[in-house]
Structure formats: C-alpha cells, structure tokens
Structure 1
Amino acid sequence: MGCTFGIEEEYLLVDLASGRLLYDPPPQVLAACREVFGEHFAPEMFRSQVELVSPVFDSMAQARDFLASRRERLALQLSADGVGLLSAGSHPLGGWSQQRPTAEAHYRQLFEDYRQVARRSVVCGLHVHVGVPAGVDRIAVSNRVRRWLPLLLLLSASSPFWEGQDSGYCSYRRVLCGEWPRMGLPEPLDDWAHYQDYLAWLRSTGSLRTDGDCWWALRPSSRFPTLELRISDACPRLEDGLCIAGLFRQMVEWAIRQPVPGRAPDQQALWREQENYWRAMRLGRRGQFIGEDGSSLTAQQWLTETMDILQPGCAEARDAFSRAGAILLFGSSADHQLTAFALARQSGASEAQALRLVVKGLLDETAGQ
C-alpha cells in the first residue's frame, strides 16, 4: 500500500452578480461553509476565503469523492444567497485593498507583523500532505523531491491575472509569495538535525514565532508526520488538483525507497532549481527548463523523464501522469483563463466584461460543471 495523504484546498467567496470578491460575507454564507465542510472547515486569512482540510486518504478515489461532493454541495448551497465558490491561485478581478481580515489571533498577528505584504496576499493554494513513516528523515526525502517543485507548479498554475490585469506570469501567486520570508524554495539542509539547528537559530534571533511560520514551498509539517507540498496554485478543475497530489505522492514514495538518504543540493543544483522555479512562474508549460546535465528541456520532456525515474506501477499512478500530459497538451488553468479573456475581447467584450467571463468559467469549474 502506498503512503497515506491529505489535501487542503483554499477557496474564495464571490458575488455571483458582479463576479467580484465578497469583502464581508454575511453570517449565513459562512454558516453554510461550516455546515457543508463540518469538522473539515478552517478559516483563512480573509473573511472572503475558506479552507477545506481533508481527512487522511488511502486512494485517489477517496479523495475525489470527498472533495467533489464538498465542492458541489457548497457551491449549490451558496448559490441560493447569490454567492459562488472559486478555486484559483488569484481572483482575476482582484480587490485586495477591500478585503477584511479574519479575526483569529494567528491571522491578526500575521497582519501585524507583515502589514501590506499580508494584506495583498489574497491568493489560494493547494497543499498536499504525504505521510512519511517513522524513522525516515523527512528532510532527506525533501532533498530528493525538491527538484520537481517547478514541474508541479507549472501544472497547477492558475493565477495569470492580478487586480484586473494580465500579470505576464502563469502563477502570479508565487510572485506574491516571494514577498514573505521563508516562503520560497526550501533551504539546503542535510538532514533533520540540520533542520532543527536552522529552526533553533531562527527562534534564538527572534525571527520565528512558531515552527509553522516556516512556509517553504515544500516543508516537513509541524503538525503531522508528513511532507507538505505548498508550491501549487489552487486548481479550479478538481482533476488537476488530484493529478498534483498523485504525482507528489509518487515522488515521496520513490524518495523513501531510495537506499541512500538525499543530501542537500549543491550550489549548481540550487541555481538550477531557482531558474526552473522562475521559468515555471513566468511561462508555465511553455517554458524551457534546465535538466540535471545542463540540457534544455520542454515541460513534456521533463514530465517524461520524471515518469522514467518514478516508474508508476498501478493504474492510479499512471492516471496522474496521463492527466499531467493532458495539462501540458491542452493547457493549464492559466492558459485557459488567458485564452478565454482573449477570445472575449476579440468578440467585442470590454476588459471588465471579459474578466467577468473568466470568473464565470472558474466558478463553473470549481463547482464541477
């Protein structure tokens, strides 16, 4: 049996009439979110944002059933109040300056510490936890998996618009993440002991309030015995999110099986990771990426190379690669949003009208329509 896993999805609450973010959802809207998600509901940084925290899964079929039913039920229930549920890295129309923060103490502290950086962070991610057996060094596992972080990002990219403008990036969300400390690629650390030394240094210098405030794109969870993927944009299409989760799960399982623990990347590997990360943010699936031998790779070549390494055995694992191939062939959410916007403009729609059509498409995809 493969590793267990869990998925956290963040959503935005949208006014169906205007397509804009709600800035202060009425009580019945948040009550509906709590009712449908139940114990799996979690508040987020803004009142217009909610999170679904899944139970532990053994299979993608379990994950699909759980997430699809919650998405569909909540979208239907909210529609009675003229509200939509949107899963994407950013809202195309924006409106961060009008958003109201959540009242929870943790988030109040974030807004106090990070000010406008926090206030601008009206973005949504897909987080995937994969269980790592006791006795296995999670930093060593991370060291083997981290090379693929840009690949997982480009497959999930869904935030090309920011504040009503084409940002020029497939994942502008990750650009915004770069404004925060400790939210980029992981530090090059050799093992768990090295990681604990790093956290101890941050605490001793007054740089870290809690271990959970280390928000790397890939990190050992401070709450669970898992490795947590945080680089991915939230996915409007559930099948894209399941693809990301399935690929990441395989990567972790492969890393656990390796006879020699993964060591911290050397300087050249760090340069390569950073360059590939920027190219994934900027160009998504259309980027040219740097292979481990310094050669140039298309996203499809990178995916094929990854499949050759991981050797997916079961149908579920092969399905994840098949879906990833379809994303590369037909486009990520970012590609689809940009295409929908361009087609609407060519048909005579104003920029505002075209953006509202993009929002409508995201709402439909989130609801499974």
Structure 2
Amino acid sequence: MVAAAFTLGAEEELHLVDPETCRLAPRAPQLLAQLPAESFGAELQRTTVETNTGVWDTLGELRADIEGLRGRLIEAAARDGLQVAAVGTPPLSSEDDFELTASGRFGRMQQDYRLLVDEQLICGLQVHVGLADRDVAVDVTQRIMPDLPLLLALSASSPYWRGEDTGYSSIRTIIWQRWPTAGATGPLASAAEYDTLLADLIASGVIADAKMAYFDVRPSAHAPTVELRVTDACPLVDDAVLIAGLFRAMVATAERAHRIGDPYQVVPAPLHRAAMWRAARSGLTGDLLSDDRRPQPVPAAVAIRRMIARLRPALEDFGDLDTVGELAEATLARGNSADRQRAALAERGELRDVVALVVAETAGRVTSEGRMAPRRYPARAGDEAFTAGGHARPAYRPLFEALGTAGLEQLVERRPDVDRWTLDAGMTFGVDGRQLPFPVDLLPRVVPAHEWAALVPGLAQRARALESFLRDAYGPARIVADGVLSAEALHGCPGWRAEAARLPDGVVRAPVMGFDLVRTETGGWLVLEDNVRVPSGVAYALALRRAMDELAPDLPRPPGLLDPATVPALLGRTLRACARGVAPADARVALLSDGAGNSAWFEHRMLAEQAGLTLVTPDQVAVGGGRVRGPDGEPFDVLYLRLDTEPADLTDGAGRPVGAEVLEVAVRGGVALANAPGNGLADDKAMYCSVPDLVAHYLDERPLLPQVPTYRCADPEELRLVLERVGELVTKPISGYGGRGVLIGPSASAAEVSVRRREIAQDPAEWVAQEVVALSSHPTAMGGEVLPRHVDLRVFAYVTGTGPDDVAVAPLGLTRVAPQGSMVVNSSRGGGAKDTWILGGDASAGA
C-alpha cells in the first residue's frame, strides 16, 4: 500500500494581461485585495498572482482546486477588465512592463540582482509532494534528478520573449538559470548537509534567505514536502495535473528505493545542466537525453513513455496510471504549449493570437476539432498541415473539411488520372537521357501570407547581393581588395570562368535566380541553396497549378491566393530589360537550349511559348556581322541561356563552336547573355557560406533570411570538425547537382559514413558539409497511401540591377517532395512536386 504521506499540492504563477494591448498589467495588488490571502499571494512583479492549492490525496481533488482557484482569479480579473494567462513568458511583453511589488524584501532583491529582477517576467508551476522526513527528502531529490528534464519538456510554454521567437520551447528556463542558486544542489547525504549549504549561501551574502534556494527540486522551505521548481506555468490544467501525477510517482519510487537501500548514480552537474538545456531548447519536438550512465539523445516521446513504464508500480498504487497515461499521450499528440503557440502564430503571424490562445486555455475555453488526418497517418509536430494529434492546422482546415478523410485518402486512387495528365501535358524531366513523367501530388501546400511577406524582402536582398558579387568578381574585385574573400577562394572556385571577365561592364549577370528554401519544424525558413546558373522549375510550378485547376477544381481556393500566371510576362520583361542599345519593348529575346536531351526540355518549350521568346538550339543559331541570328536571319538582342554546359563549351551537331562564337559577340556588346557564363561562381556550394558576408559588404545590411550552418572542408579547422561528425552531417560534393553525391549522415550506414569520410579526407576542397535540419513535412498522396513527406520550396527572383527596386520575387513556388523516408527532394532522386498556394496581396508580389 502507498504511504499516506504522498499528498499533493501546487503553486501556480499567473500573468495578468490587458486584453486591449495583450501586454502585462501591473494590477495584482488591486486583485489580491479582493481574494483570500490563504490561497492567493503576491509575487516579485505586480503583473503576477500566485495561487496556492490545499493539500490533497488524489489528482482529481488537485485538479478541482486548481480549476477553482483559476476561476476565482479570472472572475476577479474580468471585473477589472483584465485577463489571466498561465504561461511561462508573456509573448508580447518586455522588461519595460516590469513593476516591482512593494516590499522591503523585493526591494532588496532588485538592488542586489538588477537585470535578473528587471527581466523576471516569467511564471512557473511548483508541485509539492508530502514527505515529512527531511533526510529522506534530500535523498529523494538526488534520485529523481535524471527525470526532471522530461517534466520540463512536457510543461514548456515559453517560446516567445520580447515579441520574438527565441528558438527555445522554454526560454523561461534559460532566464531562470541565471539565478545563483538555480539548478542542482550537487551531491548531498542528509538534511543537515542541505541546511549547512543553505546557511553558507546566506552567510556569503549571495542570497538573502532560504526562500531564495531556487534549486530544481528541494525540500520545501515552508512545508514537509519535496518541491518541484523546474516547470513552466501550464495553460492547460491537464498538463499541470499530468506533471503533478508524474512527480508524485517519481518521489514515491525514489522513496521506496531509498527504503530498500538501492544504490543510485549521482548525475554530474554539467550533464544535468545539459539535459535541462536540451529540454528547454527542443521541448517535445526533438531529442531529450536518456537517463543512462552515458546519456544518449532519444526522441522525446520515447523518453517519456520509458519514464512512465518505470513509474508504473507507483502510478498503479496511487490509482493514477490510466489518468497519467491518457494525459501523457494527449500531450504528446497535441504538443506542449510551446508547440501550440507556434501553431497559433503560423496561422496569421500575429502574436495577439498566441496571447488569445493561452488566455483561452488558462480559462478552459478550448474546443478541439475532430481528427482530420487519415487513420494511419503518422502525424508529427513538424507537419505543416496536421497537428501532432491529427487535427487540421488553420490554413488547411477549409481544404480538409471539403475533402473529408475519405476524400483525402481517395487522392491516392486518382494516381492514374494524374499520371495520364502529366503525360498528356508533356510534363517530364530527364534522367540518364530518358524523359520520365514528373510525379505530381494533388494535395496543395499552403504558404501563409505573413510567411511569404517575410520571405520576399529577404530573397530580394540575397538576389541583389549575388548580382553585385558577380559584377564585382568579374570586374574590379573589390571583394578581394577589401579582404572579404581571398583571390585563391575566388579564382579557385569550381564555378569561376575566366572568360566571364570579358563581358562588358554593367551587364546584368543573373536576371533569373532560384533559391531553395526549407521550413523547419518550428515554422522558420532557411535558405538551403542558391541557384544562379540555370535555375529551373517555373514551368513545372505553372503546370502544377493548371493540373489542380483541371483535376481538382472543386477544392476551395483560399482568399488572397496569388496567381502564378503573371510570371511568364514578368520573365519576358526582365529578359528584355537586359538588352543593350535597344528599348526593352523592341528587344528580341531567344531561349537557347541544348535541345530535347536537356533535363528541363519541357520547361524550355513552355517558357518560350508563354513568355514570347524564340526557342532555338545550337544548330539553329548563326553568328555573323557582330550579331547572333535565328533561323529567320533576324538578330537577337538577348539570349536566355538554358544549357547543361558552360556557354564557351557549346557546340552544334557538326562540332561548330557555337558557344565561343556567341561569347565573342557578347564581349563586343552585340548580344546580352542572360544567365551569363561564370555565374556558377555565385551558386557554388562553397561560396554559399559567404553570402552573409556578401550582403554586409555590398549592401551594408544584415541578412534578413538565415541559412543552414555550412562547413568548408577546404578549411583545415572545419575539415577536422567535419571528419569527426560525418555521421551527423549532410555532406555534398561542391560540383554535385540534382541531389547527386549527397549523404545524410544520420540515415547512412556505418560503411557509407566510412567511405564518405575517406573521400572527404582525400580531396577536402571538393566537399562541404551542412548541419541536418529538421525539415517540415506535408501529407502526400503518392506511393499508395497518404503519408508525411519532407518538402522544400524553390522560389525565383527576377533581377534587372542591384538597386532596391531592381528585384521582383515571382509570386509562385515549386514545392518539391522527397521520397518516403528521405530528405532529398530532387526528381532525379525519386522526388515529386505539388502545387504551392502562396497567400498574399499586391505588397507581397515584388520586392
């Protein structure tokens, strides 16, 4: 039987929120005057109220008390025009909202700790479990230390600070850990040792009293209990009850182990701190550290289920097993509060929506829509369309309501219709000299308006920097003179072409640029690669929209859906603007393709037709009289190069050096070459690392879009790091394209990792390595069932100069879909594509 000592109690800290501004309101003294002091108290800041439950034997009694106390506070706050939020940090407030509660103790703390107090706009949940013997309580705190990070991960509710996403699930933890007594106590054998530690800390003057012993878990300073202090305030009462149930089972399990004399391993303080940091950083969306003697990363859900299995005897004794098990599975399915807050922000990009969510959850006013994902769909936190519980995310709700679960699954059965459509449309891609049907999925991807509006200026900035770099690198080379890049880095780059330096000054080097973007599991966007040589995909994106219009006309289109049909005209205007010595309206533009053997031959034909370009192959080009002419003998002013080879190396069927002849005309100004020779310098995988430096050097700006951390293996120090971590990184050959040669370390076999390590060591300059990014996924009806697959997004910028108004970001995107179980999206590697529904207005259609 369970000893009656293991009672339950909780203290909740709750923010007071002004509903008009969604910021904190310093009105706690007025509210506390209306509430009973035995259950409600002041905190350090006047924007916070603390509630104190009674002492209870069951989780049901604790739940009722928490709900009752919240209800009384919410009612009192409403009379004063305020709202209440049980959340780790207030999403929209900052230290400017801090107002100190008037007391001598708090005043002294502010004088002593300054910034720590001024930024203390955080709220936590403290759980007490009854344990009268303080010697046993001290031993228990040592034994349960390995499980505390899991409780933190479940509770994490503080991703936002000062109106920004911190990247952490619990930034409250990081703020809290700055206090001198936060964290672990270190090994202690008795209550006497604990009391001596406290006395020494107080005598040192670092803390003023025993209440400031802010250890992760401790014998309570005012009650015969063990007190948990690591968790964020939980908006949902369910999560608070779950944590209380798990904590009590931990204490009881540890007490029994103490009683029978089981030995235990003290967690070294650095490892405990690392485990707490890991939980604060990723919450439930990434790995947590195992409780092994040599901790290893394990998925959060696995770690939590293992913990519950270990605690099963105690949970059964308390009658809590079913309750805790159901609550844990519900939290793992829907995500912790940090996950839910980020999902709320993703709908409209409004932090006010996040505040509204946590206020509603605190009050218990949350309704849950029914599951919309297919029955076997493995929903995950990083899925763009479904929550981890299988509910539709807001941007997709109308779509899935129209489809229904059955309709979504029936998309798989429409594969023959889709394949027939792609063949009839000639929508193919080339692999090893063969033209294959382009795999198409009918479930569209939605890019919300606020995300697109944030991407556009970042893409325009990147395009301007790359165009400026190409002009400078093949011209005055200020980038070398100013010490940003070395001459060796420039001229030794595989994309460097000496003949490109011969083109006239001021020509637009890269009027068409493509950028590969990835969306992380937390909703942020990263630039994965730049494509400046011959970026393809526009025609495929246009064809995908046409496929949707013809094959799925009844699916509801969301308001603000951008129309990609405007892009061919934008491409034509951009190319005509490259002409020299002739008005753009009069410029004659040809798309020079190396023919049906080109992997993007479908695109060449479609773009030429829709953008009003003349499609020519090398056999159809004549050079004479200082001009480049087509089959009709008329000269071209601009050649849009869509070649699989460098222009200087291009020959026709008879071996005539067409490319060299065209280049000579371009050098003399007789024709403009759009995307010029040597542009590979700017999209070289090694040069990618330097793009932030290019933005700073040429534009005197900070990059607006982050990129994936990338290592140059040519650098000896970075080479050493890469060789040590090949199995953890994505490694790519600099000269590779189309996904060829890419090795994703965590998915590779030991033999593959060993071979790649040897390849890199033999020729370091040929390789780069990137950190693995936890890519978002999207439900995809290919391969026999609807499953989540990783996706990226290729977008395009059209460039006429280097000024702020010289870049237009095309209102379309090509979402590429990786094969099941892979993160490589290229069609040549088995990937496919789907229509991309970009939402926005006139403001988001250009830079």
Q: 1:66 to 1:115 in 2, by over 3 A?
A: same
Query: For residue 350 of structure 1, what is the aligned residue in structure 2?
Result: none
Give the alignment's TM-score, normalised by structure 2. 0.41
Q: Secondary structure at the match of 2:169?
A: coil
What is the root-mean-square deviation of aligned Cα atoms in Å? 1.9
Q: d(CA) in 1 for partners of 2:167 and 2:218?
A: 28
Q: In structure 2, what is the equivalent of residue 362 of structure 1?
A: 358
Cα-to-partner distance string for 1:253-283 (whole Å, 9 max, x where unaligned): 111111126667154xx44322221110100
Match of 1:326 among 325, 330, 334: 330
Deviation for aligned residue 1:18: 1.9
TM superposition shift of 1:236: 0.6
Task: Give runs of aligned pairs for residues 149-228 of structure 1, distance below 5 A.
Answer: 149-228=148-227
Q: Deviations over 1:296-331 (max 9, x none)?
A: 321111112212221121542431232122212220
Identity of counterpart residues, as a percentage?
A: 34
1:296 partnered with 2:284:
no
Distance of 1:167 and 1:205 partners within structure 2: 34
CA contact (8 A) 1:177 1:184 kept: no
Q: Residue 35 of structure 1: SS of its match in structure 2?
A: coil
Deviation at 1:101, TM superposition (A): 0.3
Residue 73 (structure 1) shift? 3.0
- Please tell me whether the aligned partners of residues 140 and 262 of structure 1 are also in contact (alpha carbons under 8 angstroms): no
Alpha-carbon shift at residue 15 of structure 1 (Å): 0.8
Structure number with greater CO (CA < 8 Å, separation at least 6) is 1
Does the CA-based 8 Å contact 1:9-1:52 persist in structure 2? Answer: yes
Q: How do 1:31-50 and structure 2 match up within 5 A?
A: 31-50=30-49
Q: Which residue of 2 aligns with 1:102?
A: 101
Partner Cα distance (1:176, 1:32) in 2: 27
Q: Does the CA contact (< 8 Å) of 2:13 and 2:86 recur in 1?
A: yes
Structure 2 residue identity aligned to 1:364: A
Alignment of 1:306 onto 2:272: no
- Give the drift of 1:98: 2.9
The alpha-carbon distance between structure 1 residues 135 and 166, as it changes in their structure 2 partners (threshold 3 A), is closer
Structure 1 pair 117–169 and aligned structure 2 pair: CA distance change class (3 A): same
- Equivalent position amino acid for 1:341 in 2: L
Deviations 1:34-69 (A, max 9, x none): 434542111001111110011111111111111112
Alignment-mate amino acid for residue 160 of structure 2: F
Task: Quote the residue 1:351 is aligned against.
Answer: none
Task: Give distance in 2, aligned partners of 1:188 and 1:285.
Answer: 29
Task: Answer 1 or 2: which has greater strand percent.
Answer: 2
Quote the Cα distance in structure 2 between the aligned partners of 1:188 and 1:224.
Answer: 22
| 8 Å Cα contact 1:272/1:290 also seen in 2 | no
Contact 2:134 2:191 in 1 (8 A): no
2:79 is aligned with 1:80: yes
Q: Quote the offset at 1:32 in angstroms.
A: 3.8
Q: Which amino acid aligns with 2:359?
A: L
Aligned mates of 2:273, 2:262 — CA distance in 1: 22
Report SS of the residue matched to 1:128.
strand
> Is contact 1:71–1:368 with CA below 8 Å preserved after alignment?
no
> Given residue 121 of structure 1, which amino acid in structure 2 is its aligned partner?
Q
Q: Measured at CA, do residues 357 and 319 of structure 1 come closer, stay the same or move farther in structure 2, by a change above 3 Å?
A: same
**Amino acid of the structure 2 residue aligned with 1:12:** H
Q: Which moved more, 1:197-206 or 1:304-313?
A: 197-206
- Paired residue for 1:348? none
State the 1:218 CA deviation.
0.9
Q: Name the counterpart of 2:668.
A: none
Q: In the alignment, residue 97 of structure 1 is paired with which amino acid?
A: D
- Bigger-Rg structure (1/2): 2
Which residue is equivalent to 2:23?
20
> Match of 1:343, as an amino acid?
E
TM superposition shift of 1:208: 3.3
SS of the equivalent of 1:19 reads: coil
8 Å contact kept, 1:71–1:367:
yes
2:676 aligns with none
SS at match of 1:143: helix
How far did residue 132 of structure 1 move? 0.7
State how far apart, in whole Å, the 2-side matches of 1:249 and 1:189 are: 21
CA offset at residue 33 of structure 1? 4.0
Q: Tell me: CA distance 1:251–1:266, structure 2 relative to 1, closer, same or farther (3 Å).
A: closer
Residue type at the aligned position of 1:11: L
Q: Which TM-score applies when normalising by structure 1?
A: 0.90
Matched with 2:286 is 287
SS in 2 for 1:63: helix
CA separation of 1:97 and 1:218: change in aligned 2, threshold 3 A: same
State the secondary structure of the residue aligned to 2:56. Answer: coil
Is the CA contact (8 Å cut-off) linking 2:216 and 2:228 kept in structure 1? yes
For residues 10 and 108 of structure 1, the distance between their equivalents in structure 2, rounded to whole angstroms, comes to 20
Match in the other structure for 1:260: 261
> 2:120 matched to which residue of 1?
121
In structure 2, relative to structure 1, the CA distance for the partners of 1:286 and 1:211 (3 Å cut) is: same
Residue segments in structure 2 that go unaligned for 5+ positions in a row: 366-847
Partner of 1:146: 145
8 Å CA contact 1:247, 1:317 repeated in 2: no
> Separation in 2 of the partners of 1:121 and 1:206?
21
The question of whether the paired residues in 1 share the 8 Å contact of 2:138 and 2:191 is answered with yes
Aligned to 2:346: 342
The 8 Å contact of residues 144 and 262 in structure 1, kept in 2 or not, is answered as no
Aligned to 1:251: 250
Structure 1 alignment gaps of length 5 or more: 346-353
Q: Distance in 2 between matches of 1:356 and 1:262?
A: 50
In structure 2, C-alpha distance between the alignment counterparts of 1:125 and 1:332, rounded to whole Å = 15
What is the match of residue 70 of structure 2?
A: 71
Instruction: Tell me: CA distance 1:118–1:356, structure 2 relative to 1, closer, same or farther (3 Å).
Output: same
- Count of aligned residue pairs for this structure pair: 355
* 3-state SS of 1:306 partner: helix
Compared with structure 1, are the counterparts of its residues 263 and 319 closer, same or farther at alpha carbon in structure 2 (3 Å cutoff)?
same
Distance 1:127 1:94 in 2: 23
Of the structure 1 ranges 314-323 and 162-171, higher mean CA displacement relative to structure 2 is found in 314-323
Distance in 1, Cα, partners of 2:348 & 2:234: 22
- Code of the residue aligned with 1:18 in structure 2: it is T
Amino acid at match of 1:305: R
**Structure 1 stretches of at least 4 aligned residues deviating more than 6 Å after TM superposition:** none
Amino acid at match of 2:309: D
Range with bigger deviation, 322-331 or 198-207: 198-207
Q: 14, 33, 45: which is aligned to 1:11?
A: 14
- Counterpart CA distance in 2 for 1:76 and 1:108 is 30
Kindly indicate whether the alpha-carbon contact (under 8 Å) linking 2:14 and 2:84 is maintained by their aligned counterparts in 1: yes
Indicate if the aligned counterparts of 1:141 and 1:261 stay in contact, CA closer than 8 A.
no
More helix by share: 1
* AA partner of residue 302 (structure 2): Q
Contact preservation (8 Å) 1:151, 1:280: yes
Alpha-carbon distance in structure 2 between the residues aligned to 1:341 and 1:148: 30
Shift of 1:243: 0.7
Instruction: Determine helix, strand or coil for the equivalent of 1:137.
Output: helix
Residue number in structure 2 paired with 1:51: 50
